[in-house]
């Protein structure tokens, strides 16, 4: 062990200025992330708006759905959802196109209705009247204001200039609030992305990975060499105050610093070189036959005046077309920060009906998602190992997806494939492999310390992280002062020797 002391000391001294600068940049910029969470704007509503159908609308629901599909052919997602005008039919023809709308009166809504709908949703989630809206933009690319971490595209950017430059990003396909920011949060986020993720170097590709990787490896080496020094040099009483505190703090911080650096380096390599399989994929609806009302005219009327999230057309096995009813969960108003990031399902239950007869179909979300997942992956039911509903966000399926509940289907293939399917529309929301989950676990546990959420809660976890960050900066500052003092002594000796000669 003593043999490690000399080389460890040499490398620790060689790397001190370079690694110290890296530590200050990454540590202080990392503290901006919880700061954004603490100071950023909050939504006044958590659940999407619900609606109820009148008896007349419920009884005659099939005709406007057929008319909507005839008007907007090749639609891949068709559903009834809440709007400012009550229940409307929304048709999505492609992943990045604006949505189309059809009324229950048999009329096509105006072409800009998706814009109007976004304005209403922004007002609903922020609590500010639509008269306060300054500008609405259709966003198809990520930016500093709406970074890739948000995942959902396309969205509408709805600004409220008179409300502290508040900006809401609305995803109309699910009536969801995709993001909420203001001028202060955007500036903090820009600095965070510039100094912590170095996103401005993305155009360099391999050059960015090489440069950032070099910085991270220097921090890893500094942690390892510092700990090797502690283990190699026998414990003794240190008279110098700076050196004593440097050693004491190093005992406490070497593992967190190593965890942050190693998980960040792993995250960098995974993001750059591993194939990205995440992202939304849309299903395909079968072409509907022209058919009048349900054989039993009054059957569907029993669902009238019930609080619903949506009524969607979804593909079923054996070329069936099904109506899926999503029953709304009770809105409890404001939610805590813990509930926001853990998530709460937006629906309390569901039911499937045959589109042509209106009769109940003996299927369930579990059976539906297995069939849909097989269609997306090309696997068979025999290859499925496990199926379960996901009602909370976590390391594997996080809050950025903005959809709950979804179903996870796990396959027994060599990659350990897991897919997450939204039964409301049949959309493949996300998927992961063993390599993705390893990196996700590493980043969640070692970088974000999410394992503390169940012990301390998110607020105290963030306080602990920020405290560790500032203590790390203090550790680096003391180490640099010690190094500078040692360097001056060496310079003084050299000068004295030159004068003596």
Lowest mean pLDDT among 251-255, 352-356, 370-374, 484-488: 484-488
The yes-or-no verdict on residue 133 having pLDDT over 90 is yes
Looking at residue 292, its pLDDT comes to 45
Specify the DSSP class assigned to residue 144: S
Assigned token pair, 70: 């005839």
Between residues 397 and 342, which one has the greater pLDDT? 397
pLDDT, tens digit (0-9, with 9 covering 90-100), for 249-306: 888 898 999 999 999 999 999 988 888 777 777 766 555 544 444 555 555 667 777 8
In the structure, what pLDDT confidence band is assigned to residue 15 with cuts at 50, 70 and 90? confident
Q: Which residue has the higher pLDDT, 358 or 65?
A: 65
DSSP string, 390-401: E-S--SSS-GGG
Measure the CA–CA gap between 28 and 196, rounded to whole angstroms: 9
Three-state SS across 275-293?
CCCCCCECCCCCCCCCCCC
Cα–Cα distance for residue pair 286/283, rounded to 1 Å: 10
Q: Which of 9-13, 47-51, 340-344, 493-497 is the most confident on average?
A: 47-51
**How high is the pLDDT of residue 438?**
93
- More confident position, 343 or 370: 370
* Rounded distance between C-alpha atoms, residue 101 and residue 107, angstroms: 9
Q: What's the pLDDT score for residue 291?
A: 42
- Looking at residue 485, its pLDDT comes to 75
Q: Which structure tokens are listed for 389? A: 């509903």
Of residues 126 and 498, more confidently modeled: 126
pLDDT tens per residue, range 87-104:
999 999 888 899 999 998
Cα gap 401→406, rounded to integer Å: 10
Mean pLDDT of the chain: 85
**Higher model confidence: residue 130 or residue 53?**
130
Half-sphere exposure of 463 (CA within 13 A, CB side): 5
pLDDT score for 491:
52
**The tokens 């979300």 sit on which residue?**
365
Of the listed ranges 106-110, 238-242, 267-271, 374-378, the one predicted with least confidence: 238-242
- Structure confidence by residue, pLDDT tens digits, 155-210: 999 999 999 899 999 999 999 999 999 999 999 999 999 999 888 888 787 888 89
For the segment 408-446, what is each residue's pLDDT rounded down to a tens digit? 999 999 999 999 999 988 889 999 999 999 999 999 999
Average pLDDT over residues 293-322: 73
CA 100/CA 120 separation, integer angstroms: 16
Quick one: pLDDT at residue 499? Answer: 55
């Amino acid at each position: 062990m003593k043999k490690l002391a000399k080389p460890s000391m040499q490398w620790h001294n060689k790397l001190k200025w370079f690694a110290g600068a890296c530590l200050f940049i990454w540590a202080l910029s990392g503290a901006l992330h919880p700061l954004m969470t603490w100071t950023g704007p909050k939504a006044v509503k958590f659940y999407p708006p619900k609606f109820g159908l009148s008896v007349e609308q419920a009884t005659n629901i099939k005709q406007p759905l057929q008319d909507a599909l005839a008007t907007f052919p090749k639609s891949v997602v068709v559903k009834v959802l809440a709007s400012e005008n009550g229940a409307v039919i929304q048709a999505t023809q492609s992943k990045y196109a604006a949505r189309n709308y059809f009324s229950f009166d048999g009329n096509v809504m105006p072409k800009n209705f998706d814009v109007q709908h976004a304005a209403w949703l922004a007002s609903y989630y922020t609590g500010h009247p639509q008269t306060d809206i300054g500008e609405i933009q259709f966003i198809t690319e990520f930016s500093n204001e709406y970074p890739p971490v948000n995942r959902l595209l396309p969205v509408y950017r709805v600004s409220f200039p008179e409300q502290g430059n508040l900006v809401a990003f609305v995803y109309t396909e699910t009536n969801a609030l995709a993001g909420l920011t203001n001028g202060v949060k955007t500036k903090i986020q820009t600095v965070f992305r510039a100094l912590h993720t170095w996103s401005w170097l993305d155009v360099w590709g391999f050059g960015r990975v090489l440069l950032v990787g070099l910085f991270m490896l220097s921090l890893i080496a500094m942690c390892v060499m510092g700990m090797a020094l502690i283990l190699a040099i026998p414990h003794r009483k240190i008279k110098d105050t700076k050196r004593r505190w440097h050693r004491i703090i190093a005992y406490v911080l070497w593992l967190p610093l190593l965890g942050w650096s190693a998980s960040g380096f792993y995250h960098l390599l995974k993001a750059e070189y591993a194939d990205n399989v995440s992202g939304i994929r849309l299903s395909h609806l079968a072409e509907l036959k022209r058919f009048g009302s349900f054989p039993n005219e009054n059957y569907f009327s029993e669902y009238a005046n019930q609080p619903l999230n949506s009524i969607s057309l979804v593909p079923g096995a054996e070329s069936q077309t099904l109506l899926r009813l999503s029953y709304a969960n009770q809105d409890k108003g404001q939610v805590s920060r813990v509930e926001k990031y853990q998530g709460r399902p937006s629906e309390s239950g569901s039911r499937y009906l045959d589109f042509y007869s209106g009769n109940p179909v003996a299927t369930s979300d579990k059976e539906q998602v297995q069939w849909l997942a097989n269609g997306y992956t090309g696997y068979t039911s025999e290859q499925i190992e496990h199926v379960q509903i996901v009602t909370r966000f976590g390391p594997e399926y996080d809050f950025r997806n903005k959809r709950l509940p979804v179903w996870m289907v796990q396959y027994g293939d060599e990659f350990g494939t897991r897919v997450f399917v939204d039964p409301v529309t049949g959309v493949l929301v996300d998927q992961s492999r063993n390599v993705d989950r390893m990196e996700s676990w590493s980043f969640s546990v070692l970088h974000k310390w999410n394992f503390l959420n169940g012990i301390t809660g998110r607020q105290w976890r963030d306080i602990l992280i920020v405290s560790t960050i500032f203590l790390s900066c203090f550790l680096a500052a003391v180490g640099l002062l010690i190094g500078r003092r040692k360097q001056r002594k060496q310079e003084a000796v050299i000068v004295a020797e030159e004068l003596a000669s």
